[in-house]
């Protein structure tokens, strides 16, 4: 099932569900609609409770956060946010955000280039050994990352690359994230064959077909991959935890961990304020691109 086809199906006119096809009267339909909305709102309340609680909590004084059931403070304070300006362990939090941004953007560039190249080769080039490489690629999809943790660390340690960003970025430029290769490959398979055949007849080599024809048509898959990569890199904890050991190089995740280690339960206010600020880029991406994310997610499951 290609992304193109799924997209068309989800955005196209929907057939009505069994509930509305019968000869029900209007009253019953309204009752069903109200019940449906009540059910959905109940789920929404459970989902949102922690988020609302923590937003309210970030405006409360420390001793009121834990131990108070009210969602919102009686008189809101911005102290928790103001204190963030002092940084964590004398490092301004803008440093952590800058580092995370650098890693996330660097990862996006790497994944887009390397994964689309591999996907193009699998989808459009009939080279010898394609089947074997494809099987290996799918195999890495299911491989637990932790098997590679120790030996990769040993490798980067021998190369004296510990406490640099190279170990965190290199894999992105070498298409090790098979999920994105697979996502783009599925999309490319759905493109009409006539397009690249026409391009070849007009004298385009593979590089030009890839760059001028296939890539522009793959925009939705590229956007989906870019956002997922950004969010994954932004949220990544284990990679930076293992490879970075100088606080000036820490990412936001490690900055938060430092906060936890340093203050423990004493400073919940500052901790959750910082947590919320750390989530802002992810939430912004979600609000702007949720359609791409959800369609991309749905596709990954349809052709398992």
Partner 1 sequence: MGAAVTSAPNPAPRPERVTRQDVETAPAGSASGGRPPGAPGRTARPHRARRENLAGYLFMSPWIAGFLLLTAGPMVASLYFAFTDYNLFDAPKWIGLDNFTEMFGDARWRTSVEITGWYVVIGTPLKLAAALGVALLLNQSRRGQGFYRAAFYAPSLIGASVSIAIVWRAIFSDGAAVDRAQQVFGMEAGGWIGDPDRIIYALVALTVWQFGAPMVIFLAGLKQVPRELYEAAQVDGASPWRRFWHITLPMISPVLFFNVLLETIHSFQIFGSAYIIGSQGNACGPADGTLVYTCYLYIQGFENSRMGLASAMAWMLLLAVGLVTAVLFWSQRRWVHYEEGAR
Choices 19-27, 78-86, 91-99, 217-225 (CB under 8 A): range interacting with partner 1: 19-27
Applying the rule CB under 8 A, the residues between 67 and 96 that interact with partner 1 are 67, 69
- Of the candidate residues 4, 80, 95, 171, the single one contacting partner 1 (CB under 8 A): 171
Contacts with partner 1, 217-236, as mask; x by CB under 8 A: --------------x--xx-
The set of residues, in sequence order, having a beta carbon less than 8 Å from that of 130 and lying 6+ positions away, is 121, 122
Kindly write out the interface string for residues 29-48 of this chain, putting x where it contacts partner 1 by CB under 8 A and - elsewhere: ----x--xx-xx--xx--xx
Identify which of 258, 225, 222 has the alpha carbon closest to the alpha carbon of residue 99. 258
The H-assigned helical ranges of the chain are 3-11, 18-21, 26-57, 62-65, 79-84, 93-124, 130-142, 146-158, 166-173, 178-190, 193-201, 206-208, 215-217, 219-235, 238-243, 252-263, 268-302
Is 3 an interacting residue with respect to partner 1 (CB under 8 A)? no
By CB under 8 A, name the one of 75, 90, 160, 194 that touches partner 1: 194
To the nearest whole angstrom, how small is the minimum distance from the Cβ of residue 44 to partner 1? 6
With binding defined as CB under 8 A, does residue 293 bind partner 1? yes
- In angstroms, give the least distance from the CB of 75 to partner 1: 20
104-163 residues in contact with partner 1 (CB under 8 A) are: 113-114, 117-118, 120-121, 125-128, 130, 133, 136-137, 140, 142-155, 157
**Interface with partner 1 includes 268 (CB under 8 A)?**
yes
Work out whether 16 is an interface residue with partner 1 (CB under 8 A). Answer: yes
Q: How many CA within 13 A on the CB side of residue 172? A: 23
Which residues 6+ apart lie within 8 Å of 181 measured at CB? 115, 118, 119, 122, 137, 175
β-bridge mates for residue 88, sequence order: 91
């Amino acid at each position: 099932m290609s992304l193109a086809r799924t997209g068309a199906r989800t955005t196209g006119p929907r057939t009505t569900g069994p509930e509305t096809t019968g000869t029900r009267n209007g009253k019953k339909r309204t009752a069903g609609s109200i019940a449906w909305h009540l059910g959905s709102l109940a789920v929404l309340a459970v989902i949102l409770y922690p988020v609302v609680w923590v937003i309210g909590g970030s405006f409360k004084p420390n001793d009121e956060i834990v131990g108070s059931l009210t969602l919102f403070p009686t008189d809101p304070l911005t102290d928790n946010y103001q204190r963030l300006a002092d940084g964590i362990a004398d490092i301004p939090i803008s440093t952590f955000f800058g580092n995370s941004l650098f890693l996330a953007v660097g990862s996006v560039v790497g994944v887009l280039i390397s994964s689309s190249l591999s996907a193009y080769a699998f989808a459009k080039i009939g080279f010898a050994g394609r089947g074997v490489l494809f099987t290996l690629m799918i195999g890495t999809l299911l491989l637990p990352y932790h098997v590679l943790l120790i030996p990769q660390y040993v490798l980067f340690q021998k190369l004296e690359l510990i406490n640099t960003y190279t170990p965190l970025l290199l894999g992105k430029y070498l298409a090790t994230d098979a999920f994105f290769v697979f996502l783009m490959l599925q999309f490319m398979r759905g493109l009409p064959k006539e397009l690249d055949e026409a391009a070849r007849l007009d004298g385009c080599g593979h590089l030009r077909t890839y760059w001028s024809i296939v890539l522009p048509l793959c925009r939705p898959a590229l956007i989906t991959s870019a956002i997922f990569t950004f969010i994954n890199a932004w949220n990544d904890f284990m990679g930076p935890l293992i490879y970075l050991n100088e606080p000036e190089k820490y990412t936001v995740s490690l900055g938060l961990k430092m906060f936890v280690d340093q203050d423990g339960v004493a400073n919940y206010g500052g901790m959750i304020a910082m947590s919320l600020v750390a989530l802002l880029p992810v939430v912004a991406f979600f609000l702007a691109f949720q359609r791409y994310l959800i369609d991309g997610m749905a596709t990954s499951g349809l052709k398992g």
